[in-house]
Chains A and B, each alone.
Chain A
Amino acid sequence: MKKKLIIFLLMMFTLILYSDSKNIEFIEYDLDNGLHVILHQDKTTPIVAVSIMYHVGSKNEDPERTGFAHFFEHLMFEGSEHIPRGEYFNIVQGNGGTLNANTSFDRTFYYQILPSNQLKLGLWLESERLLHLKIDSIGVETQRNVVKEERKQRIDNQPYGSLLEELFSRAYTTYPYRWTPIGSNQYIDLATLDEFIEFYKTYYVPQNATLSIAGDIDIEETKELVDLYFGDIPRGTNEITRPTVKEPPMTEEIRDTVYDNIQLPAVIQSYRIPEQGTDDYYAINMLTTLLSGGQSSRMYKALVDEKQLALQAASIPLSLEYKGQFINFGLSNAGVEPMEVEEAMDIEIGKVQNELISDREFEKLQNQIESNFVQSNSTVAGISESLANYHVYFGDANLINTELQKYMDVTKEDIKRVANEYLRKENRVVLYYLPKSQAPEEKEN
């Protein structure tokens, strides 16, 4: 009850905090059924983004049903009590809108961007599938095949397409990040209609959802409409389960080779990092910018430009709700051995660990972070997603205005410290991607 009171107070006045950018004003509140609502008005273009984020992702799946959350995402377009099968897309597009959805390890996100005079339509559509989605076996069988084709298109038929899957299956032994959202064909084949209905009842409930609306709207009117379309949706009664297992710390480096249909070898070094939103998360993000933000960044400059070892070199923070991965990726230039690429990566990591970065380089980093942050919220669709993200992951939608300060609080010493703390050999998985022609079985032929 107390928490509710605070949220209620928040909607009375909007916080205004300093940043170089203009503040993104919004209100947020909970409906009685637990649905969290965030509204942002921006009248520049007569459009509106209506989005719902469900706090469910592949990490909530049964290990024997990997790919389930994503498969279910497809079924959410099948129809509802009042929307015939196959009409969902048609209705949105036929009214001038666009729509899509995506599923990650941690959440599933649905959005529609509509002309602003169609706000009601957006609310009706989203509330219909939250209240009484309708799926049948024809829909399930169709989407089963569609999802399998999606997997082929993104992973099986793509050079390096299996990278994330190969990496995460080695980086985690226990935590349900050990499979990726696309899942395996085998389990996609096993999923049944009953299981989908049970999943829907558990996770697609108001108290597990955030409705975020941004665009050319009238706030008061929108609040009333939200009440009208979502107020009577009952709270879910199933217990929402979230993973409680802990991933044991890594004790030694994991090293492996994947043979793929590729021409150029690739090297992936991936270090386990703390949860997003922690202080170290911000320092780690700055570290990845130091290594691969722009062509003057350390990794790009050394590996791509000066030593010409790599066609691409990047340092990517894959931060998640639970412990994520700090991925260094290098694609060898023709004729370069992956080992050379890896050695060059290690040299760059070693430098950050041993030497404090200069004041000028630190200033550059801060400028880059600021520029990215200020320019990141340029569309109403982007703003609606960011607001939902900040609320779902951090319980603080206003981070959309204040998060930059968290980056600015990071010191040069912090960057050196996190490099030493997390970029340790025994905390990493190293994968070499090599052409299939180099696979040992085939060599003997």
Chain B
Amino acid sequence: MKNKFLVIIALVFTASFYAQVDRSKMPEPEPAPEIQLSDPDSFTLDNGLKVFVVTNNKLPRISYSLVIDRDPILEGENAGYVSLTGQLLRTGTKTKTKAEIDEAVDFIGASLNASATGLFASSLKKHNEELLDIMADVLLNAEFKQEELDKLKKRTISGIKAQKDDPNAIAGNVRNALVYGLDHPYGEQVTEETVESVTLDICKDYYETYFSPSAAYFAIVGDIGIDEARELIENYFRDWQAKEIPTDEYKKPNRPLVNKVALVDRPQSVQSVIYLSYPIDLEVGDEDVIKLSVANTILGGYFSSKLNMNLREDKAYTYGARSRYDTDELVGRFDATTQVRNEVTDSTITEIIAEMKNMTKGEITDEELETAKNYLIGSFSMSLESPATIARFALNIERYDLDKNYYRNYLKNLNAVTREEVIAVSKKYFKPDETYILAVGKAEEIADDLKKFSLSGKINYYDIYGKEYDPDAKKVPDGVTVETIIDKYIEAQGGREKLESINDVQTVMKGNIQGTDITLTLSRKSPDLLHQVLDAVVFKQTTIFDGDSGAQVANNQKTMLEGERLEELKIQATMNLYFDYDKHGIDAVLKGIKEINGKDAYEIELTLPTGKKWYHYYDTETGFKIREVSTMDTPQGSFTQTVDMGDYKEIDGVFYPHKLTQQIGPQSIELEVTQIKVNQELSDSLFKIN
């Protein structure tokens, strides 16, 4: 009872202190608190390692982070090796196995993460020296083992498999492929094949090339003073040897000239993942950045943005819609993204485009502008709660060569952003008519409605790794296999028995290259003898295979063929090769149906024992072979060689093509068969190499 009495008194007391609260009015804020921005301590070791120390003893903990600053890397056919190298770092040193590193880290209740561009470690203050000891060992004495790489590759490949059903992961991959291109460091794709091809040597090479103190920044944040920090860092990193690290340049990807619609078909989708994305040219610290941050906040940077209020709170198409931009030294990016139910996929894209246009047209209210600015001011203040923010600011100033007062002036500059400036950056960076429009979703339900966003009415289909494909490609009918296609080809030519009865055949072809008449005489004899003469009046080239050796004679100069070229010549020389690919170590796979010169043709991929791939195409109707594609390696580089064959005519019961069109690079030669002679008992001496 007594207690209640006290409470009542307290209430009375309060009431006399404040007037009755007027709920109908939003409370006025107190004077704005001052934002204090301290500078971290910093110093540089003789080897170039730049160190920042942020002392914060609110909690008895400490964190170390090392960042390697290097240009982006195009990984190519080994894509994934850079990330694997980062993971390998933590799997062994000259004196510790992975299990020992794990045990040491966990024993002190710490964490240690490694990546290709740095290390991050944290623990309680009382274990800080033990932790730095492990971290430095991992960084400086890394020893990469095949066994650990194999494990990581296996897990990475499993991870890639797991992502194949994840619509967000797919959208991210394909978005990057579209915006940057597959041959760009930010757009290239890590696949099972590229990971499989990663070797220990490339990983070692990466580590040895890029981990240098001269390219590194080190930040210490937490319950530690500058003196203690300096002593620790000097002890551990003084002897780390500096080296020059390579730099790279890449060409900047451009926005599409008109909107391009890209679709990844995921038939099981009940929502479409949508991206409107394109590259932007915007470096960290550029004077447009703060203005664009305001513009983007209004467009889609937060809950109260145009995109979210429209698509979620008004139309209820989605759980959330956002836009964002990335600043980057190489090339930045803009994204507007959301996930919506299948049936409103196109309506959503229409709305996103409309909201982007509203921004460029300047349809921005004063309230929208103020709300966005206040939100950004608040976010900046809140970010200062984490002591790591101060370290990040200092690091950015160094790394991107920003004005040393960039962050100290940030709020002032943010406050000063005007409506006109917001409209100007909106015009410059929001490009609703020059964007990739990507949807990952159920094509059957969404594809038709997406056509309207493309000027040509065309949608491009992509697989989950951003490779374009033709969705109308015909399906191979059930029951059709390599064997049935070859059998049909044999029948079309005149039958197996007839073909087997041919022991030798001589073909003469005539054509014209750039005004010069040429004659090609090809003689073949069972099982695999070949003699071919190309006569171009001023130039004569003879190619011979005698069953064992091969040679090429050009203008009386003879070159013996060796290695892969010889192996391939032997295969070319083999009569009726296709009767039994297995016997010759050739792997034949039916890839599908392609349109060749207006006709549907089965595509068969032949993988030679040398690893080289040939492609043969058979007319689905007539059964005749109508095209061969191979690659030719020459001193000038490798070329794709395409030979189309047609005008099949019968000679002694066997059908032979009488017209051949050969395309090598940009050059095309048409050859007409003028003579075919069969079983004239060609002498073996014709096939001798002299």
Contact = CB atoms under 8 A, between A and B. Distances in A.
Nearest to A45: B385
A252 B106 CA distance: 36
A146 interface: yes
B201 interface: no
B164 interface: yes
A231 B341 CA distance: 44
A93 interface: yes
Contacts of A262: 162, 165
B105 interface: yes
Contacts of B583: none
A84 to B, nearest CB: 11
Contact of A121 (B17, B29, B31, B106): B29
Nearest to B378: A96
A311 B155 contact: yes
Nearest to B32: A117
Given A1-B1, A95-B378, A231-B11, A22 B59 contact: yes
Contacts of A331: 158, 162
Contacts of B379: 96, 98
Interface string A354-368: 000000100110011
A21 interface: yes
Interface stretch (A64-72, A238-246, A370-378, A404-412): A370-378
B342 to A, nearest CB: 10
A303 to B, nearest CB: 11
Interface string B1-38: 11110111011001001100101111111111111000
Interface string A141-164: 111111011101100111100000
B98 interface: yes
Contact of A296 (B102, B271, B341): B102
Contacts of B11: 32, 227, 231
Nearest to B150: A308
B99 interface: yes
Identify the interface centre among B18, B309, B371, B377: most chain A CB within 10 Å of its CB: B371
B33 A216 contact: yes
A263 B165 contact: yes
Contacts of A128: 23
Given A149-B271, A379-B385, A224 B14 contact: yes
Interface stretch (B136-144, B241-249, B310-318): B310-318
A229 B11 CA distance: 12
Main secondary structure, interface of A, reads helix
B404 to A, nearest CB: 23
A17 interface: no
A86 B313 contact: yes
A367 B59 contact: no
Contacts of A156: 270-271
Contact of B384 (A45, A121, A363): A45
Nearest to A142: B316
Given A96-B374, A96-B378, A374-B61, A82 B110 contact: no
Given A45-B382, A231-B14, A90 B371 contact: yes
A311 B58 contact: no
B106 A295 contact: yes
Contacts of A229: 21
Interface string B323-334: 000000000000
A228 to B, nearest CB: 5
Contacts of A158: 166-167
Contacts of A360: 107
B99 A296 contact: yes
Nearest to B2: A5
A334 interface: yes
A113 interface: yes
Contacts of A21: 59-60
B1 to A, nearest CB: 7
Interface residues of B, number: 89
Contact of B123 (A8, A120, A142, A371): A371
Contacts of B468: none
B158 A334 contact: yes
A191 B317 CA distance: 19
Contacts of A117: 29-33
Interface in A284-325: 293-297, 301, 304-305, 308, 311
A1 B3 contact: yes
Contact of B313 (A8, A81, A142, A153): A142
A20 B382 CA distance: 27
B339 interface: yes
Nearest to A226: B14
Contacts of A367: 107-109, 127
A102 interface: no
Contacts, number: 248
B271 to A, nearest CB: 5
B106 A297 contact: yes
Interface in B265-310: 268-271, 302-304, 309
B433 interface: no
A374 B124 CA distance: 8
A94 B124 contact: no
Contacts of B313: 86, 142, 146
B7 to A, nearest CB: 6
B319 A146 contact: yes
A98 B165 contact: no
B109 A368 contact: yes
B677 interface: no
A158 B27 CA distance: 43
A114 interface: yes
Identify the interface centre among A95, A114, A372, A374: most chain B CB within 10 Å of its CB: A95
B124 A296 contact: no
Interface in B45-65: 58-61
Contacts of B312: 146
Contact of A115 (B27, B28, B33): B33
B385 A44 contact: yes
B161 interface: yes
Interface string B138-160: 00000000000001001101110
Contacts of B385: 44-45, 47, 379-380
B35 A46 contact: yes
Contact of B340 (A91, A116, A149, A332): A149
A145 B316 contact: yes
A217 to B, nearest CB: 11
A223 B386 CA distance: 27
A144 B318 CA distance: 11
Contact of A228 (B21, B161, B340, B374): B21
Interface in A37-88: 44-47, 81-82, 86
B161 A263 contact: yes
B595 interface: no
A118 interface: yes
Interface string B148-186: 000100110111011011110000000000000000000
Given A117-B32, A305-B98, A364 B341 contact: no
Given A146-B319, A378-B59, A334 B157 contact: yes
25 contacts: A1-B4, A22-B58, A22-B60, A32-B7, A45-B384, A46-B35, A93-B378, A116-B33, A118-B29, A146-B318, A149-B271, A149-B319, A153-B319, A157-B167, A158-B166, A295-B106, A296-B99, A296-B102, A301-B99, A305-B151, A331-B158, A370-B109, A372-B109, A375-B59, A378-B59
Given A153-B319, A304-B155, 11 more contacts: A1-B1, A8-B3, A82-B24, A86-B313, A97-B375, A124-B26, A141-B316, A146-B316, A149-B341, A152-B271, A363-B107
Interface of B: 1-4, 6-8, 10-11, 14, 17-18, 21, 23-35, 58-61, 98-99, 102-103, 105-111, 122-124, 126-127, 151, 154-155, 157-159, 161-162, 164-167, 268-271, 302-304, 309, 312-314, 316-319, 339-341, 367, 370-371, 374-375, 377-379, 381-382, 384-386
The 7 closest A-B pairs by CB, nearest first: A96-B378, A371-B109, A46-B33, A145-B316, A94-B371, A120-B27, A294-B106
